[in-house]
Amino acid sequence: MGKHMPEPWSIKLDRPAGTPASANERPLDALIMSSGRYICRCRDFMGEDPTNIADAKRIVACVNACEGITTEALEAGVVEDSIGIAITFYTEELGPWVSYEILPTEEQLFEGIRVWEEE
Q: How many CA atoms lie within 13 A of 112 on its CB side?
A: 0
61 and 75 housed in the same domain: no
64 and 74 housed in the same domain: no
Entry pTM: 0.70
Which of 68, 83, 99 delimits the end of a domain? 68
> Which of 25-29, 95-99, 100-104 shows the highest mean pLDDT?
25-29
Domain that holds residue 84: 70-119
Question: pLDDT by residue (tens digit) across 63-82?
Answer: 999 999 998 999 999 988 88
Question: pLDDT by residue (tens digit) across 14-34?
Answer: 776 666 666 556 677 889 999
81 and 34 housed in the same domain: no
- Interatomic CA distance for residues 2 and 100, integer angstroms: 42
The pLDDT assigned to 109 comes to 64
- Interatomic CA distance for residues 117 and 2, integer angstroms: 32
With a cut of 50, say whether residue 106 has pLDDT above it: no
59 and 88 housed in the same domain: no
The pLDDT assigned to 66 comes to 93
Domain count, the chain: 2
Strand partners, 12: 31
Nearest to 51 by CA among 30, 82, 70: 30
116 and 98 housed in the same domain: yes
